[in-house]
Amino acid sequence: MRKWSKQGFFNDADSNDSGFYKFSIRPRDNEWRNEIGFSTIFKMADCSERINLEFGPPSVYVRPDGGVERLGEAKRALTKLKARRKKVKILREAINMYCDKIEEFFDQYEEEVNKAIEKTLDSNEE
């Protein structure tokens, strides 16, 4: 059973919308071979929409003397790690950009709703 490093909810406990996020980053367990690797997962859901992201690097297996079993695979794993770092950086930038844009939209939305309320209240006073 997976133990989550962090989990939380997007909505109040009494909400019908069960939005949540949780993630886990942990070393891989391999009882048969000595392994360098991590299992990573990030899950997020809001209503029925769900996203699962996994950016864990490929495993590298180690010999009893501490060296790698396959040198070529270990070097390719480092190349893949570089690509995964790039993906995480792009994800971070995209999320930050989305958050900035949605905050702008929220501000505009709030302003328009407040204007409409004010106009309604003004017309009711007449």
Single pTM value for the model: 0.69
Q: pLDDT (tens digit, 9 = 90+) per residue, 12-42?
A: 766 666 788 888 888 776 666 688 888 888 8
Q: How much is the average pLDDT of 3-13?
A: 75
Residue 38 · residue 9 · CB < 8 Å: no
Q: Mean pLDDT for the chain?
A: 85
Hey, is 26 helix, strand or coil?
Answer: strand
Percent of the chain's residues with pLDDT above 90:
36
Q: Which residue has the tokens 């069960």?
A: 18
First CA to last CA distance, the chain: 66
Q: Which two tokens stand for residue 106?
A: 């929220």
For 79, the token pair is: 């190349």
Report the phi/psi class of residue 48: left, alpha or beta, with left for phi > 0 and alpha for psi in -120 to 50.
alpha
